[in-house]
Structure 1
Amino acid sequence: MSFVVLLLAILVEKFSALRQRLQCDGGWVRELNKLEASPKLAKNPWWVLIILILLPVILLGLLLVVLDPVAYGLLALPVHLVVLIFSLGRGDLLADLGPFRDAWRRGDLQAAAHVAERDISVRAENGEQLLEHVQAHLLWQAYQSFFAVIFWYFLLGPVAALSYRLLALAVEHGKNPELVEHAQQMRHAFDWLPVRLLAASFALVGNFAAVSRVMLHELLSWEISAAQLINKAGCAAAELAPPQTGPEGVSSLDALWELLLRAAVVWYAGFAVWTLLL
C-alpha cells in the first residue's frame, strides 16, 4: 500500500489544492508557544516535545492498528494519504524562487537580494554568495520537503513521516533554545540515512566521480549536517560552474532541479522494485 500512497500523493500534489488545505500548522504552533511559555514546562523542554510530537504519533499509531485489519486496509489508506501530504514540506519551492530567478536573469543584484530575503529568508554579503546560498536552499528544501518524508514513510509508515514533520516544525517555530536544540538533534538522527541515500542517488544520475570524492570523506561522519552534505553532493553531481549573473546563474538552478527530478525517478523506481520483490 505504501507505493500506491506515494503515487497518489504525487497526483494530489499536481492536480489538487488538498495540500494547502491540510497543511495548517497554526494551531499546533500556538500550542507549542503556549507550552514553551508555561512556567512548569519552560525548564523541561522534553515534556513539550513528548506532548506535541510523541503523543500525536502514538495516537496515529493506535488509529492505524485499529484500521489496518478492516477491509484489507482500505480504511487505513485515506489516513496514510492525509498524513503523508501533511508531512510534506510547506510552500511551493519553484514559485518561491520565481522572483529571484527573474531578478537574477536581469542581472539586478539588489532586487535579487531583496526578494531572496523576502521570499526564502536567504541573505548574503555579495552576489556570488547569494547565488550559492540560493542553490543550497533549493537542495535542502527539496530534500527536507520531499525526499526525507517519502523515505521514512516507505520505510516505517505514516508514524515516522509525521514524526519527521513535527520535529521540523518544532525546529522552525520553537522559541525555547533548549527545546530547539533537542529537536535539532533528533532531526539530525532522522536525516543521517536518507540524506546519504539521496547523495548516492545524485552520484547515479550526475557526476559519479565528483560525488564519490565528497562522500568518501563524509559518508560516516556524524558531525556534518544534512544541509551541508546535500549541498556538497548536489553541486558536485550537477557540475556547477562558478556563480555568474544573468541567464547562466539561473541555468545552475535549472540544473539542480533536473538533478532532483532524476533522483526522484530513481527513488520511485527503487520503491517499485522493492514492492514487487516483497
Structure 2
Amino acid sequence: MSFLVLLLAVWIEKFSALRQKVQRDGWWLTRLARLESSPRTAGHPWGQLALLVLLPAVVLGLLLLVLQPLAYGLLALPVHLLVVIYALGRGDLLGGLGPFRDAWRREDLQAALHVAKRDLDICADSGEQLLERVQGHLLWQAYQSFFAVIFWYFLLGPVAALSYRLLALAAEHGKSPALVERAAQLRHAFDWLPVRLLAASFALVGNFVAVGRVMLHELLNWHISAAQLVEKVGLVAGEIPAPVTGPEGINSLDRIWELLLRAAVLWYAGFALYTVLL
C-alpha cells in the first residue's frame, strides 16, 4: 500500500488542488502560540513538543490501528494519503522561483535581490552569492519538502511522516528559543539518514567521483546540517559551474532540478523493486 500511496500523492500534487486544501496549519500554529504563551508550559520545551508532535502522532497511530483490520486495510488508505499530502512541504517550489528567474535572466540584480528577499527570504551581498544561495535553497527545499517525507513514510509509515512535518513547523514557526532548539535537534536526527541516502542517489545519477570526494569527509559527520550537506553534494553532483548572471545562471537551476528529478525516479524505482520483491 505504501508504494500506491506515494504514486497517488505525486499524481495529486501535480494535477489536483487537494494539497492546498489539506495543508492548513492554522489550527496547529494557534496551538503552538498558546503553548508558548501559557505560564504552565512556557518553561517546558520538551512538554510542549510532546503536546504538539507526540500527541498527534499517537492519535494517528491509534486511528490506523483501528482502521487497518477493516475492509482489508482499504479504510486506512485515505488516511495514509491525506497524511502524506499534509506532510509534504509548503508552497510551490518552482512557482516561487519564477520572479527570481525572470529578474536574473534580465540581468537585473536589484530586482533579483528584491524578489529573493520577498519570495524566498534570501539576502546576499553580491549577485554570485545570491545565486549560490538560491541554488542551495532549491536543493534544501526539494529535500525537506519531498525526499525526507517519502523516506520516512515508506520506512515507518504515516506516523513518522507526520512527526517530521510537525517538527519542521515547530522549528520554523516557534518563537521560544528553547522550543525551536529542541525541535531543530530532533529534526536534525530525522534528517541524518535520508539526506545521506539522497547524497548516494546524487552519486548514482550525477558525478559519482565528485560526490564520493565530498562524502568521504562528511558521511559520518553528525555536526553538518542537512541543508549544508545536500547543497554541497548537489552542486558537485550536477557539475554546477560558478554563478553568472543571465540565462547561464538560470540554466544552473534547471540542471539542479533535473538532478532532483532523476534522484526521485531512482527512489521510486527502488521503492517499486522493494515492493515487488517483498
Q: Report the counterpart of residue 155 of structure 1 in structure 2.
A: 155
Matched residue, 2:107 = 107
Note the 1:1-278 alignment, pairs <5 A: 1-278=1-278
- AA aligned opposite 2:22: L
CA distance in 2, matches of 1:148, 1:2: 15
What is the Cα deviation at residue 155 of structure 1?
0.2
- What whole-Å deviation, never above 9, does each CA across 1:12-35 have from its counterpart, x for those lacking one? 111110000000001111110111
- TM-score, normalization by structure 2: 0.99
Deviation string 1:142-189 (CA, Å, 9 cap, x unpaired) is: 000000000000000000000000000000100000000000000000
Which amino acid in 2 is paired with 1:167? L
Give the counterpart letter for 2:240 in structure 1.
L
> What secondary structure is seen at the aligned counterpart in 2 of 1:245?
coil
Measured against aligned partners, the alpha-carbon deviations of 1:107-155 in whole angstroms (never above 9, x if no partner) come to 0000000000000101111101000000000000000000000000000
SS of 1:46's partner is helix
Distance 1:15 1:242 in 2: 35
The structural deviation recorded for 1:199 is 0.4
Give distance in 1, aligned partners of 2:106 and 2:15: 32
User: What TM-score do you get using the length of structure 1 for normalisation?
Assistant: 0.99
SS of residue matched to 2:29 = helix
C-alpha distance in structure 2 between counterparts of 1:229 and 1:57, whole Å: 28
Listed one character per residue, the Cα deviations across residues 83-106 of structure 1 (whole Å, up to 9, x for unaligned) are 000000000000000000000000
Partners in 2 of 1:142 and 1:42 — Cα distance?
33
Superposed CA deviations along residues 192-236 of structure 1, whole A, max 9, x for unmatched, are: 000000000000000000000000000011000000000000000
Deviation at 1:57, TM superposition (A): 0.2
Which secondary structure does the structure 1 equivalent of 2:91 belong to? coil
Deviation at 1:258, TM superposition (A): 0.2
Deviations 1:1-52 (A, max 9, x none): 0000000001111111000000000111111011101111111011111011
The code of the aligned residue for 1:45 comes to: P
**Take 1:40 and 1:14, find their aligned partners in 2: how far apart are those partners?**
44
Q: What is the identity percentage for the equivalent residue pairs of Structure 1 and Structure 2? A: 73
- SS of 1:241's equivalent? coil
Distance of 1:178 and 1:125 partners within structure 2? 31
For 1:122, the aligned partner's letter is I
Q: Deviations over 1:55-87 (max 9, x none)?
A: 000000000001111111000000000000000
Q: Which runs of 5 or more residues in structure 1 are unaligned? A: none
